[in-house]
């Protein structure tokens, strides 16, 4: 079954792939840990799965590119998917989200899906945060789930390319999967790389000799937008780590920043001074779930957190785009998180 709808998508969002283009080296380096390797284990969800969504449309430039797993052969990948579906989710519908700009992948996937009735292919635009579970289910399945809720409880299982291939290897073929691909990128590194890492390797070992010396840098697991900053490098790689981004801190004043935009780009510098909200509407134009983040800011500044919760605050998917775009450099995401947290008992 083929579905081709031009209008599919959502309002707002931001194309990070165009704004921060990153190139990766074609050679994949293997890194082994000294300890005993951990292995990938797939836990079958307890709930009945009605929809399996496979996301082949990464929206962040530092995410693992599709070619690493697919090797430009989408048909083989979909055959793998079919094997998983027949043995584990015989009754589920499978939806595959592909980047509409990858014309060959889209055409091959459409060709494959034309002959099978269990799979639908959705060409999507790679706008951040399209790959968020809430937006994926909303755009593809027209289902509303809440942010923070496990999608399995609504009968939806979301998988990425690497997990599909790992499930195939470990469950269908019965092999041991003890390593995974992650990307290592950012302005704090000598070069951007794709690594094949044994599970359980510490981040310290991965970053050895790869970070640029003589600059201050900060390490983010799973990207600077949705991920976390880590200070101690002893954390070990498990299956939830998809990418590591190392950014230059850049806490110095740069002279003539208007002609030297690339020197400050992709650093943790906020690129401007802190000001008051000027009601520019940038945050609600970019918001992918159609909220008005400035309303939360004003409620918060007046000390009325309970009021902020009335303005659909629960719908926020915490993608961070409002803080990202704000010309006054307000910490909108932080304010939203504080408003969401229940009031402390006095």
Residues that bind another protein (CB under 8 A): 20, 218, 220, 224-229, 247, 249-257, 259-261, 264-282, 284-285, 292, 294-295, 310-312, 320-321, 323-329, 331, 333-334
Provide the minimum distance between the beta carbon of 98 and another protein in the complex, in angstroms, as a whole number. Answer: 26
Helix or strand run (H / E) with residue 185: strand 179-185
- Phi, psi (rounded to 5 degrees) for 339: -65, -35
Nearer to another protein, 118 or 311 (CB): 311
Nearer to another protein, 86 or 281 (CB): 281
The verdict on whether omega for the bond into residue 168 sits within 30 degrees of 0, i.e. cis, is no
Who contacts 307 (Cβ-Cβ below 8 Å, separation ≥6)?
Answer: 299
Provide the minimum distance between the beta carbon of 332 and another protein in the complex, in angstroms, as a whole number. Answer: 10
Provide the minimum distance between the beta carbon of 9 and another protein in the complex, in angstroms, as a whole number. Answer: 19
Nearer to another protein, 160 or 248 (CB): 248
Nearer to another protein, 161 or 225 (CB): 225
Provide the minimum distance between the beta carbon of 265 and another protein in the complex, in angstroms, as a whole number. Answer: 7
Nearest CA among 154, 263, 247 for reference residue 192: 247
Nearer to another protein, 138 or 307 (CB): 307
Nearest CA among 64, 19, 62 for reference residue 246: 62
Provide the minimum distance between the beta carbon of 94 and another protein in the complex, in angstroms, as a whole number. Answer: 32
Nearer to another protein, 198 or 250 (CB): 250
The gap from C-alpha 53 to its chain's centroid, in whole angstroms, comes to 15
Asked if residue 222 lies in contact with residue 241, where contact means CB atoms within 8 angstroms, the answer is: yes
Number of residues assigned to the chain = 346
Asked if residue 89 lies in contact with residue 125, where contact means CB atoms within 8 angstroms, the answer is: no
Place of tokens 């755009």: 139
Q: Which residues make beta-bridge pairs with 28?
A: 194
Place of tokens 């970070």: 211
Largest Cα separation within the chain, whole Å, is 63
Provide the minimum distance between the beta carbon of 257 and another protein in the complex, in angstroms, as a whole number. Answer: 4
Provide the minimum distance between the beta carbon of 214 and another protein in the complex, in angstroms, as a whole number. Answer: 18
Nearer to another protein, 22 or 83 (CB): 22
43: which 2 tokens?
Answer: 């836990």
Place of tokens 């926020």: 316
Provide the minimum distance between the beta carbon of 125 and another protein in the complex, in angstroms, as a whole number. Answer: 19
Asked if residue 305 lies in contact with residue 337, where contact means CB atoms within 8 angstroms, the answer is: no
Nearer to another protein, 163 or 192 (CB): 192
- Report the C-alpha gap between 336 and 317 in whole angstroms: 10
Nearer to another protein, 208 or 334 (CB): 334
CB count within 10 Å of CB 147 equals 15
Place of tokens 């599709």: 66
CB count within 10 Å of CB 30 equals 9
Provide the minimum distance between the beta carbon of 12 and another protein in the complex, in angstroms, as a whole number. Answer: 12
């Amino acid at each position: 079954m083929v579905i081709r709808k031009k209008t599919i998508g959502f309002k707002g969002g931001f194309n990070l792939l165009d704004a921060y283009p990153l190139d990766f080296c074609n050679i994949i380096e293997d890194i082994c840990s000294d300890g005993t390797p951990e292995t990938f284990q797939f836990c079958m969800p307890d709930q009945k799965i009605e929809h399996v969504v496979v996301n082949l449309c990464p929206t962040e430039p530092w995410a693992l590119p599709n070619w690493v797993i697919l090797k430009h052969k989408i048909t083989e990948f979909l055959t793998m998917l079919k094997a998983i579906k027949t043995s584990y989710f015989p009754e589920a519908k499978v939806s595959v989200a592909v980047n509409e700009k990858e014309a060959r992948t889209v055409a091959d996937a459409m060709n494959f899906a034309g002959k099978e009735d269990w799979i639908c292919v959705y060409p999507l635009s790679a706008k951040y945060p399209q790959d968020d579970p809430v937006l994926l289910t909303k755009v593809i399945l027209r289902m509303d789930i809440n942010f923070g809720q496990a999608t399995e409880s609504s009968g939806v299982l979301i998988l990425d390319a690497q997990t599909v291939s790992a499930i195939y290897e470990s469950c269908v073929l019965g092999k041991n999967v003890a390593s995974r691909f992650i990307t290592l990128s950012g302005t704090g590194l000598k070069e951007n790389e794709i690594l094949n890492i044994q599970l359980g390797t510490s981040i310290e070992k991965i970053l050895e000799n790869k970070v640029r010396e003589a600059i201050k840098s900060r390490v983010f697991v799973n990207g600077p937008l949705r991920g976390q900053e880590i200070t101690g490098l002893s954390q070990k790689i498990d299956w939830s780590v998809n990418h590591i981004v190392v950014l230059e801190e850049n806490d110095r004043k740069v002279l003539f920043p208007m002609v030297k935009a690339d020197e400050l780009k992709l650093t943790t510098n906020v690129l401007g001074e802190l000001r008051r909200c000027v009601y520019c509407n940038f945050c609600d134009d970019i918001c992918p779930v159609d909220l008005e983040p400035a309303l939360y800011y004003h409620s918060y500044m007046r000390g009325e957190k309970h009021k902020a919760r009335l303005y659909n605050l629960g719908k926020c998917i915490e993608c961070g785009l409002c803080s990202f775009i704000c010309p006054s450099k307000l910490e909108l995401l932080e304010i939203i998180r504080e408003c969401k947290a229940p009031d402390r008992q006095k």
